[in-house]
Chains A and B, each alone.
Chain A
């Protein structure tokens, strides 16, 4: 089973600042990596798939990148609605696995 490790667990950021979230896979998942956003009491929402492709309707301030088994989600200028928990997920191997999440909170 591929283990997905996200860091940091919590990220404190001021509105308007840049946020950088990391996700590491225990082995290669190619570019088969997705990012999800989850707000309290809501279902997760797909942000990024294929490591760097924004899902339909996702603002351009969200971007994803990859380097080997290291993946990064960048939010260029945090808006109030972006404070949430973010999960990465690999869909290259079975079982599909999620990271433990990064909470982005207001500084």
Chain B
């Protein structure tokens, strides 16, 4: 089925470890983004991309890197995990990069715990 696929669904890391959260979409969407969801804080934008080779920072980018080498994939890298990065991470995509009228398609999320 077409959509946004995130892997893994669950992950436990030790402080200082690094890892990559994967996100792939098969809808040829130009716009992709990463959010983190924390209790009482809604969703906060980490990084986003408006097309292959183009990325930019969102509201809470520190401690995370992204790249966009293809239209389909938008991985999120945690460089050195910290307990403050314990959260649920969502990847989302949208078909139009210059219009704000399209909604997002979300992945099912990755629940990350840093101990």
Chains A and B form a bound pair: no
Interface residues of B (CB under 8 A from A): none
